[in-house]
A and B are shown apart, each in its own frame.
Chain A
């Protein structure tokens, strides 16, 4: 038909102009959504971390084995013996994108803002006595009590303690000015964030060099997972985050792209409402724990043993924090025992409300299977499947849910797991747990901390503080010719090389 012919002719004519558009050394990255802010202090979203780490930097960062290394700091801090004073030397000659140079005044103002506006900063603010400039290139943080996770908090790219020029510090920062290897050239919301090399960048001393290999990094928000996969497979993107495990075989078979499996990536978790509702009863919590069919839930969510592991430990084997304490309570798969707990709780048949959404399909899939398992044990279950925005609101209201489903990457420091704290929305306020947690955060000896974490894990399982479902692997994808990107929940592209 002539219409079709001419459409195709037009399109193939256009193809000539479509493919060579990419400038040499441009990396196109499909991310899962639009970062709603470029200020990583105020957001705990992973997509914000992925984007902003290229243009703003923290004093410290994690290396590939999750050890803390200096980034804007010149060296590791000098920590006093009582653990109360941190003297942090800053690198000299660091330039902001606006041309000004970084000194201790910028770092102090930024850290103070971090303590005021960021959720992780606020979580330690009451333990911080003061942040001062103790020299033009030295910052001193004074604590009221020892707090060993402090350096991890300062290193994390999520709710991040980044350094801004003192001049732009305000409760809300509209135009972010950083020190990173790339700077924002253009931002078209929902279309792209275009980052270009920052010429005044100086390399860190501790962290891996950020070699500014690509001329440009384009971060393209593509909310639909299928579209991210199609774009990657057609060569439109060089990297794609957050792919469904169902696309693994197709990526593996492709000539254009290949899978990047993050193994293990993180853990799906059933957050438990300790403030209100039937889950405040320990017997009900134990019943749920005993009844949940963890294998089936993981199988439904991830489809193939390649992508998950039935594991009750909060950190998988191979991690410093791995422990076997209490894991016998995980994956009991015992509806009869659950029924006994229900009896002990005088369960009256009121429904257990599981709040979830389709935003992450495996959340919903685990919820469906969990429902079947819990019902087999005699619980009445209501699935409340809402959109992500509603979930984000409803989970803040303890009247509306008993369990909500979320997931987290394995975090380098357990004190970053917010569910452990009684101030979190779950409100898990077990006094014994609080004591263990205080000991954990004030202890600085790594070996002792490891032992205390074992106790912490045990009480998580015994008191059912939250329910870890298992370990899962996340799938990202990259173009065949792409090198220089380390697998990470927050992949960075400053060393990315595209050979086309």
Chain B
């Protein structure tokens, strides 16, 4: 347990996390996006969702700060509402698939007897092209937010599991893990204190990717013709709906496009910072 608390030793963690300016900027940026999406609509409910067809495709200006869409709805208002859904999808998938992937990967990497069946299952699931598996699952379950999260989590879980298993295979053969085993540490202890600690950074990096991928995949699903029911707007759906107005109203894809890119990018930069901060080897260096 000593090593775990050492891992989360507050000063060094914060120092490393904040050491990179890009991480700080990204973190601030992401927090602002989250706050905007979840707080602003709550403060001003009236401006959102109103339809005024005659004002369709009004460019950004005094009436509509970020313009109006094909139904004459305020783009800014919809952007914020849509952001809630997009962020929920990303976070949901990242948490669900990482947790499931860690459990499956650790077990597969650690228990030789379970390795084969679990690896076969991972292989079988990974054999499905990710977008297509998601496409099929969403087509079957129906396009609700929960179903999209579930479908994408099913898609990404084996990918985490495989990386966890591969890393576990290496780590468990490291001299100090072998030493711990020889000293009689229980399997669970070894798994948690040594192996999990060692593979935490690749998983965190992977989880930030999954957060990003899930948001992008949701946009892709919408593009392919399935996705979240349009009564629940997402950033991906907004970009996709804006496609046909690429000439007449470019701002319709520009703003949600920026929202996606900015969130995904800042998330990954934060993930990078986290990775450096959590890596015990790097901690020692600073």
Contacts and interface: CB of A to CB of B under 8 A. Distances in A.
| Any A–B CB pair closer than 8 Å | yes
Interface of A: 225-226, 244, 246-247, 249-250, 293, 296, 299-300, 303, 358-359, 361, 364-365, 368-369, 372, 383, 385, 387-388, 390
A249 B51 contact: no
B51 A303 contact: no
B231 A303 contact: no
Contact of B248 (A246, A359, A369, A388): A246
Given A358-B225, A368-B51, A383-B231, A300 B243 contact: no
Contacts of B226: 387
Q: Taking each of A250, A296, A364, A383, which has the highest tally of chain B beta carbons within 10 Å of its own beta carbon? A: A296
B74 to A, nearest CB: 15
A367 B253 CA distance: 22
B245 A246 contact: yes
Contacts of A387: 139, 225-226
Contacts of B246: 226
5 contacts: A247-B247, A300-B56, A369-B51, A385-B229, A385-B231
A385 to B, nearest CB: 5
Contact of B56 (A226, A293, A303): A303
Nearest to A303: B56
Contact of A364 (B53, B54, B230): B230
Interface string B147-177: 0000000000000000000000000000000
Contacts of B22: none
Interface in B202-234: 225-226, 229-231
Interface in B45-86: 51, 53-54, 56-57, 70-71
Given A296-B54, A365-B71, 12 more contacts: A226-B246, A246-B248, A249-B247, A303-B70, A358-B225, A358-B230, A359-B225, A368-B51, A369-B71, A372-B51, A385-B143, A388-B225
Given A300-B56, A358-B225, A246 B247 contact: yes
B244 interface: yes
A140 to B, nearest CB: 49
Given A299-B53, A383-B231, A226 B244 contact: yes
Contacts of A246: 244-245, 247-248
B239 to A, nearest CB: 13
Contacts of B53: 293, 296, 299-300, 369
Contacts of B248: 246, 249, 303
B230 A385 contact: yes
Q: Chain B interface secondary structure, helix, strand, loop or mixed?
A: loop
Nearest to B139: A387
Q: Taking each of A244, A250, A390, which has the highest tally of chain B beta carbons within 10 Å of its own beta carbon? A: A244
Nearest to A298: B53
Given A303-B57, A358-B225, A368 B247 contact: no
Contacts of B229: 383, 385
Nearest to A223: B225
Q: Taking each of B225, B226, B241, which has the highest tally of chain A beta carbons within 10 Å of its own beta carbon? A: B225
A201 B139 CA distance: 47
Interface residues on B, range: 20 to 34
A58 to B, nearest CB: 34
Which A-B residue pairs are the 5 nearest by beta carbons?
A296-B53, A244-B244, A300-B53, A372-B51, A246-B244
Contacts of B231: 383, 385
Contacts of A390: 139
Contact of A225 (B56, B57, B143, B244): B244
B191 to A, nearest CB: 44
B116 to A, nearest CB: 39
B145 to A, nearest CB: 14
B244 A368 contact: no
Interface in B229-286: 229-231, 241, 243-248
A250 B70 contact: no
A244 B71 CA distance: 16
Contacts of A250: 247
A41 to B, nearest CB: 29
A300 B71 contact: yes
Contact of B70 (A226, A365, A372): A365
Given A365-B70, A368-B51, A369-B51, A299 B56 contact: yes
Q: Taking each of B53, B56, B231, which has the highest tally of chain A beta carbons within 10 Å of its own beta carbon? A: B53
B19 to A, nearest CB: 30
Contacts of A383: 229-231
Contacts of B71: 300, 365, 368-369
B56 to A, nearest CB: 7
Contacts of B54: 296, 299
A300 B230 contact: no
Contacts of A368: 51, 71, 230
A383 B228 CA distance: 13
Contacts of A300: 53, 56, 70-71
Interface in B112-156: 139, 143
A452 to B, nearest CB: 37
A249 B246 CA distance: 12
A321 B109 CA distance: 75
B286 to A, nearest CB: 34
A246 B57 CA distance: 11
A390 B229 CA distance: 14
Contacts of B57: 303
Contacts of B51: 368-369, 372
A326 to B, nearest CB: 26
A267 to B, nearest CB: 19
Contacts of A365: 70-71
Contacts of A369: 51, 53, 71
A365 B245 CA distance: 14
Nearest to A368: B71
Contacts of A247: 244, 247
Nearest to A373: B51
Nearest to B229: A385
Contacts of A388: 225
A495 B241 CA distance: 37
Nearest to A356: B230
B255 to A, nearest CB: 18
Contacts of A299: 53-54, 56
A246 B229 CA distance: 24
